Amino acid sequence: MGVGDVSKRILLGRKLRSAQLGETLLPKRVALPVFASDALSSVAYAPDEVFIMLAIAGTAQYVWSWKVAIAVALVMAAVIASYRQTVHAYPSGGGDYEVATVNLGRTAGMTVGSALLVDYVLTVAVSISSGANYAASALPAFQHHEATVAVVMVLLLMAMNLRGIRESGTFFAVPTYLFMFAILGMCAFGFFEMVAGTLPMAESADLDITPKEGWEDPITTFGLVILLARAFSSGCAALTGVEAISNGVPAFKRPKSQNAATTLLLLGLIAITMMVSVIVLAKQMGIRFVDPHEFGRLTRDGQPVPDDFDQHAVIAQIARAVFSDFSPGFYFVVTVTGIILVLAANTAFNGFPVLGSILAKDGLAPRAFGARGDRLAYSNGIVFLAAMAIVLIVAFDAETTKLIQLYIVGVFVSFNLSQLGMIRHWTRALTTERDPAARRRIYRSRAINAVGLSFTAVVLVVVLLTKFLAGAWITILAMGFFFAVMKSIKKHYDNVERELAADETDKALPTRVHAIVLVSKLHKPTLRALAFAKATRPNALEGVYVSVDEKDTARLLDEWDERNTGVPLKVLHSPYREVVKPIIEYASAIRRANPRGVVAVYIPEYVVGRWWEQFLHNQTALRLKGRLLFTPGVMVISVPYQLRSSEIALEREEREEHRVRPGDLRRGRVEARDDRNLPR
């Protein structure tokens, strides 16, 4: 095993057989934190965004905060109910993409696919950037290095997911459940204090907020509608991640669709409870919150806050006040919130690779996205997602406020097309179903999806109107880019399939085979290549040597005559010491002389066993093969010669293959041996 293999095993763990895929499936208790961490973690920033938007017109508009929260909760409930229909109807894991493709056509499916790809990348970028900002608030050493911290976090998440979905899910389950316990416990304690009349005020309650320019006058009805629409669209960030469960149904244990639907229900109940509770508590505790770039609008007793003012997140302010006499409670809430923001990206790391594999199977993404890695995870999709997220994080310097404006457009595009596709699915089912009970279920499901479509369509319009100029246009451009790429990939694969389709002309045999064996020295690899070429019985056979030094050429000619191989040697003189070009030109000349013939080029190669030896051999052979592959009518045949180091490496690999590891007997990978009848 080479250095690369050792490093890979340390990073990823031992390989898993394809038959062990069932071992990686998730029970509901693990699937909930794996697929729901994104939607749950939005509780850490969605309330902040609601208060930021309402603060545009001053603190008086905070009275609407709980009503905005209720509106977002209603939309989430409708979306959750709609996706429960989806996972039952389409349990294969295609989710929105499959629903749109089957019911609305390929173009709609590609639109959904591009929207989800963008949304998954943004999920990682937003969640990790927010987590990095929490880390910088807690650890001053990280301040002004948030982008670097975020990149490191993305790489760590990538490494964890490359180890496999089950292993990463188990690792992430504990922090996610701790986050649920922390937020729900904090809110329960806060509401208890509110009922008892002892609810403390937040640290920012004594601040005043100056309305933004243009909002100083008493707000009109139209202005209020615009303000609430902006707050509502920002609060809808809480809905991101809901679709991940419909894309990840294959990762659930049986019964897959039932377990996925139950997990969706749990997600909806927990996320709605947490978000509404946080916003209501924040309103009751008098929290003041503005855009981090607009601290100049904050005043205390008529005086602007100092330049180094530190505005804590909404959850942090609630926790500090609620647990004012119990500091471990505050640190517990803040710590698990920061952790969950990082782990929220895990939802995308589970949803993106599955979607990528489905797109690859349909010819809309590189086929490498459909290949499972050593740990049965879609490794190429995981790495690609990490790379794209890192690009965004670096480009926006890990500023959540900027990234959040790009958010949720893509996911609501997929929501709408998915609900429209489900309505068509149920309508089509009604044309063939005759059982009254089944028809009633179909009518109920179609009504649920129709309600979901009406809600998500309104949200999409609001989001586009309120966020387009703030950055949503970038998301739309990115969706268009992915759409064009998928269309190009599909066109390429279709063209390749047409070109490779067999027809009658493929039965014709070449009129002549001219074989040439490349010669560098007259040694064992060359003699083996000559023997193999003779065994194929070509019409013509010759050795080809490129002369760059007269003494070496003369020595080889003498050895060739002395050995009497029975094969003529062609010497190509190269005054500029080029090796590859003369061979290419010679092979092409033979081909032009006989267009219906074939030129077979035999290349002797050394096979070495140590990774560093690769750099000492075969570089010319690699360049030759790379050039010859683009030469029409030329076939390239590698003739390997195994050096002793390759045999040592093979023996070492065989020993490693047969080594019994702890737990192999229990898992059934080795058979138990009965030593009782062996001779003593």
The mean pLDDT values, 10 residues at a time, for the chain of 680 residues are: 43 46 63 77 83 88 91 90 86 79 91 88 84 72 81 86 60 83 93 92 89 81 86 81 74 82 89 92 91 82 79 88 88 86 77 84 86 68 90 84 72 88 92 90 92 88 79 85 93 86 72 91 90 93 92 91 90 87 92 90 84 69 85 90 72 58 53 50
- Rounded to 5°, the CA angle 518-524-528 comes to 65
CB 76 within 8 A of CB 239: yes
CA–CA gap between residue 55 and residue 478 (Å, rounded) = 30
Which one, of 315, 349, 342, 350, lies nearest residue 331 by Cα? 315
Which one, of 584, 588, 578, 575, lies nearest residue 603 by Cα? 584
CA–CA gap between residue 61 and residue 63 (Å, rounded) = 5
CA–CA gap between residue 45 and residue 340 (Å, rounded) = 12
Residue 514 DSSP SS3: strand
Confidence at residue 485, expressed as pLDDT on a 0 to 100 scale: 93
Q: What is the DSSP string of 55-113?
A: GGG-GGGGGGHHHHHHHHHHHHHHHHHHHHHHHHH-TTS-HHHHHHHHHH-HHHHHHHH
For residue range 384-434, list pLDDT tens digits in order.
999 999 998 888 887 776 776 677 788 888 889 989 999 999 999 998 888
CA distances from 603 to 141, 515, 594, 609, 621 (A): 57, 11, 22, 19, 7
* Residue 65, Cβ density class (10 Å: 0-12 exposed, 13-18 middle, ≥19 buried): buried
CB 375 within 8 A of CB 162: yes
Confidence at residue 20, expressed as pLDDT on a 0 to 100 scale: 42
CA–CA gap between residue 295 and residue 304 (Å, rounded) = 8
Confidence at residue 274, expressed as pLDDT on a 0 to 100 scale: 92
Spatial neighbors of 267 by CB under 8 A, at least 6 apart, are 32, 35, 36, 39, 40, 80, 242, 245
Which one, of 196, 127, 181, lies nearest residue 344 by Cα? 127
Residue 614 DSSP SS3: helix
* Residue 81, Cβ density class (10 Å: 0-12 exposed, 13-18 middle, ≥19 buried): middle
Sign of the Cα torsion 492, 494, 500, 504 reads: negative
Confidence at residue 422, expressed as pLDDT on a 0 to 100 scale: 92
For residue range 312-333, list pLDDT tens digits in order.
888 989 999 999 888 888 889 9
Q: What is the pTM of this model?
A: 0.70
- List, in order of start, the domains of the chain with CATH numbers: 48-429+438-494 (1.20.1740.10), 512-658 (3.40.50.620)
